[in-house]
Every structure is written in C-alpha cells, then in structure tokens.
Amino acid sequence: MKKIIISVVVLLLIVGGIFLIKKKKKNGQFAEIQPTRGSIAVEFRETGTVSPRNRLEIKPQVSGRIEDVLVVEGQNVRKGEVIAWMSSTDRAALLDVAREKGDAEFQKWSDAYKPTPLISPLDGFIIARSKEPGQSVSVNDVILVMADKLIVEAVVDETDLRYIKLGQDVKIFLDAYPDKYFSGTVEHIAYESTVINNVTVYEVKIKPENPPSNFRSGMTATIEVIADKREDVLLLPSDVIIEKGSKKFVRVKTAGGKSELREIKTGITDGKKIEITEGIDEGDIILTGVKVSKRNRTAQTRAGSIPGLGGVRR
C-alpha cells in the first residue's frame, strides 16, 4: 500500500512538472529592441574599364626614318613640346650618302637639311611608344600614343540610369586591388544607348580623384553608386518586419506589458536595416522572436530531474 502511494505521488509530480513546462513556454519572453535614428543608403555596382579620355595616335606627316624619340611611356608632356625627330625619305637618303663621304660632309648636309619634328598636340602623357630610332615609317604608322587623362568608362543598365547624375560622387574599385577604393565624379552620361547581350545600356564616364600611381589604361574597374540615401531617419532591423499581403507590421509592447501588431510604412532598405516612415516612434519597444527566460530554463531542469524517480519500485 505504501509503495502504491509513493508511485501516485511521483506520477503527480511528473504531470505537474510537464504542465509547468508547457505553461512557462507559452509565457516565453520576447527579445526587446527600440528603433534608432541614423543614416541608410541603397548602393549598386557596375563594371567598367580604365580608358583615356582623349586617345591620340601620333603619326608622321611624311614618310621617312625616325632619328630620335625623346619620350618614354608614362612621361608627361606639354602641348607644343617636341617629342621625336625624323627625316623624310629624301633627307635620309642624302645623309646616308654624305656619311660615306666623311664627317664633315655629313655635318654639312645635316645642318643644311633640318629634320622634321613631331610635336605634342596637347597636354598629357605617353601611353605607348610603338617605334624606335632607325626604323622606317609611313604616314600611316603610329609612332607614339598620347592621352590627356585616364578615366573610367562604365556601362549602366537603363533601369539604373535614373540613379546616375552629372557631378555625382562614386567609389571606384580596381580588380587588382579589390579591398581598396578611391573617389570619382560622373562627368558624362551618354545620350545614345547601346545594346549588349540584348540589354540596353548607356556609357557613363567617371573622372577619378587621386587614383593610385599604378593606374593604367585597360584595367578592369567597378564603380559603386549610391542610388538613394537618407539621413537622420528611424531604422529597424529588416528581419523584425512582419508582412501580411501588401501590408507590413511590427509587434509593439503595450503599456500593460502585452503586445499588439501595429501597421507601419517603410522607406528604403539596404538589406539589413529598413527605414520606418509611419506607424511607430523612437520610444516604442519592438518585440522580436521568442526567447525562453532563465527562470523557465531552471523550471525545466528541475522538472526533468525529480529526486527519487530512478529508485521507485513497484
């Protein structure tokens, strides 16, 4: 009889523990957060290429032979500066004959028949040196290639073009240095579109500010554009938003300690944070997720290890 009474008491304790656990789980606590004020921006990226803004091929005015090239790749030159000397075909032939007659004869005809200069047509720098002294050239041969400035040319999808404006600041990343960036400014947006892989795109030219010393024509670049940015707005984590159809809600803690679903209006989002335009204030407490309290976990532990359970015999 005594064993039966003990078994009944233990059974009641087990049932009571299970009931207590379920009750505590139903009354689990929500994690509480509050809206904060801050900045949020929506960004997108487009690929591009480093190119000369003005690329100019320097060709001779007459056919003949190059006597001297005075510049190297990367060298800055001024407009009107002599960058190479060359002899016409007639002068080159005459000097070759004079050289065979001696230095005096060669010097005589060299002074009398001056070489033809190649002059820089603009301020810029040399990006390619294609010919060397002693080589024969025609009027179609390129001796040097110049550029006034290196820029980034990017193609922007027509759906993103609305976010691009003249004078807009952008970030420029080079594939060679993906973790570093420098600033640039949009200086031109094409009026005529092109089609690439059945997608309509527009060419956008970006002037770099303080590019790295190894900035080279032909490098692959990525531009990062801020499509929209808001300052001093109310923000919440995106994952606390509850969507029901076309409406959005958050769970708000009420004065009585309970909660209610409150409809809100939202603005832009960067994927992690979202702008709240209507529905809640900065002082509201937002409930998110279910978090079992420490007290609940203790009750569960005690209920799961009732003393004497393992030693009961019938």
Q: What tens digit of pLDDT does each residue of 134-145 get? A: 999 999 999 999
pLDDT for 30? 75
User: Per-residue pLDDT tens for 5-49?
Assistant: 445 444 444 444 444 444 434 445 678 899 999 999 988 889 999
* Among candidate residues 228, 250, 271, the one where a domain is terminated: 228
The answer as to whether 216 is a domain residue is: yes
Check whether residue 185 and residue 206 sit in a common domain.
yes
In the chain, the percentage of residues whose pLDDT exceeds 70 is: 83
The answer as to whether 193 is a domain residue is: yes
Check whether residue 90 and residue 123 sit in a common domain.
yes
Whether residue 57 has pLDDT greater than 50: yes
pLDDT for 29? 65
Under 8 Å CB-to-CB from 104, ≥6 apart: which residues? none
Q: What is the pTM of this model?
A: 0.62
Check whether residue 70 and residue 108 sit in a common domain.
yes
Check whether residue 60 and residue 141 sit in a common domain.
yes
Q: Distances in Å between the alpha carbon of 105 and those of 13, 87, 274, 279?
A: 125, 17, 85, 97
Check whether residue 134 and residue 168 sit in a common domain.
no
User: Per-residue pLDDT tens for 204-258?
Assistant: 999 999 898 889 999 999 999 998 889 999 999 999 999 999 999 999 998 887 8
> If you write DSSP's letter for every residue of 151-200 in order, what string do you get?
EEEEEEETTTGGG--TT-EEEEEETTEEEEEEEEEEEEE-SS-EEETTEE
pLDDT for 147? 93
Check whether residue 168 and residue 203 sit in a common domain.
yes
List helix spans (H) across the chain.
Answer: 2-26, 89-100, 103-112, 294-303
Check whether residue 184 and residue 62 sit in a common domain.
no
The answer as to whether 277 is a domain residue is: no
* Among candidate residues 103, 118, 147, the one where a domain is terminated: 147
Structural domain that includes position 300: 1-27+294-314
Number of domains the chain is built from: 3
Check whether residue 82 and residue 131 sit in a common domain.
yes
